[in-house]
Amino acid sequence: MSSKISASFLVFVIIANLILDDLGVECRNKSYTPIVMYHGMGDTAYGSIDSIRKYLESKLRGVYVTSIQQGRNFEEDFLSSYFMNLNQQVEKACEIIQSDEKLKNGYNAIGFSQGGQILRGIAQRCPYPPMKQLISIGGQHQGVYGLPKCLGSFKICDFIREMLNFGVYTRFVQNNLVQAEYWHDPLQESLYKQNSVFLADINNEIHLNETYRNNLLKLEKLVLVYFLNDTIVQPKESGWFQFYLPGQSEKIYDLKDSPLYREDRIGLKRLDEQNKLFLLSTIGDHLQFSIDWFQKEIVEKFLAKIFI
């Protein structure tokens, strides 16, 4: 009797091992889409957002997460968030992404604050490898009009304000101050459109660049998050492509009432009609979100899908 039990148990163990081995091969052949992150003003690739990288790696086992660093070190990356022309940042970031073998089949992108519009610039100008999902957290996609709070040292912030007061739409300031490149003056719309070297261009507000629109339409999902109690982004609704009505700085138009949406200048309307546009908001000041919210609303809904 015992020999029969032993034989049966042996057969069970062999079959179980074969099944587990097959499952192991299947799991090894599955992976999460790699993630590229881009930091905001006054931060660095491996500064405060590095905790997000570590969290993603702990929750999405085996996922590859990288963060774009501009320059050779921490200091250069930090200064680039204030003084490196955004067009140059997009171009350099594209080179970094294209040279990363682990991103060759595509990636998801998470942009924090101004990193959101920088990554959108990459999506529109650098379609290979493909950006699959763009998640913008606290971005300024219609720009800002005001700098009530500045993330950085007092000296840097005072210098930025002096530059903005000097002439935000002068060639020198536009080419050398990041925050000027997405400064949007609703009282001087024509001046903004004529002189903005970055935001007006990627928003197709001057000339209609079909390539920009076609490339953004390649996204599987565009996720836009703004903070309900934001005291840094002015207006906070810029994270949803909403902004002040021209000629004043109080009333804010809805996304669907904007020329950008109605004329579908960069593809937002079509993405919305295809159920690829997601508008999220959360309580808290700028980039002040809970890890529970991030897990439930971002990780589980947009990043946790496994691909074979």
Produce one character per residue of 253-272: b if its CB has 16 or more CB atoms within 10 Å, e if not. Answer: bebeebebbeebbbbbbebb
Pairwise CA distance, residues 179 & 197, whole Å: 11
- Active-site residues: which are they? 113, 230, 286
Pairwise CA distance, residues 155 & 164, whole Å: 14
How far apart, in Å, are the Cα atoms of 250 and each of 94, 132, 237, 244?
37, 36, 12, 6
Q: How big is the chain by its Cα radius of gyration, in Å?
A: 23
Contact criterion met (CB below 8 Å) for 85 and 174: no
User: H/E element holding 193?
Assistant: helix 189-195
Pairwise CA distance, residues 100 & 110, whole Å: 17
The sign one gets for the Cα dihedral 242, 80, 102, 123 is positive
Pairwise CA distance, residues 257 & 128, whole Å: 32
User: H/E element holding 282?
Assistant: strand 277-282
Pairwise CA distance, residues 152 & 117, whole Å: 20
Query: Which two tokens mark 191?
Result: 């001046």
Contact criterion met (CB below 8 Å) for 118 and 89: yes
Name the DSSP letter for residue 14. H
Pairwise CA distance, residues 195 & 181, whole Å: 9
